[in-house]
Amino acid sequence: SYGVPVEVVSLLLDRYPEAAREKDNDGDTPLHEACNGCWAPAKVDVVSLLLDRYPEVAREKNNAGDTPLHLLCEIESDLGAILLLLDAYPEALRKKKRISW
């Protein structure tokens, strides 16, 4: 989410709902980006909004084989966001990454 306020994300999704499903060249969805934490810690409200709009996104893997939960756990430990992702896709705990560093 790059520190973008949830209101802005909500407005964008209102205007272009399919954006929640889009993937970039790395196979990342907006939820992957929100959980990545490279630019700003994941905001629970943004994670919640993206899951509300497209619950199946929690199951999506990027090109490296990461689910959003994998990315969230690698970068930070926001318990609220982790619990949201676990509720949406508990099987993610059993999924392995395809690529490891």
24-57, pLDDT tens digit by residue?
999 999 999 988 876 566 688 999 999 999 999 9
Q: Rounded CA gap, 17 and 26, in Å?
A: 21
Domain with 53 in it: what CATH number? 1.25.40.20
pLDDT digits (tens, 9 = 90+) for 54-84: 999 999 999 999 999 998 888 766 788 889 9
Task: Say how far apart CA 53 and CA 55 lie, in whole Å.
Answer: 6
User: Is 100 inside a domain boundary?
Assistant: no
What is the DSSP secondary structure assignment for residue 61, as one 8-state letter?
-
pTM to 2 decimals?
0.85
- Give the model's pLDDT for residue 65: 92
Supply the range of the domain harboring residue 51.
Answer: 6-94
Residue 49: enclosing H or E segment and its boundaries?
helix 44-53
Q: What is the pLDDT of residue 100?
A: 55
Q: How far is CA 27 from the centre of its chain?
A: 12
Per-residue pLDDT of 47-56, as tens digits, reads 999 999 999 9
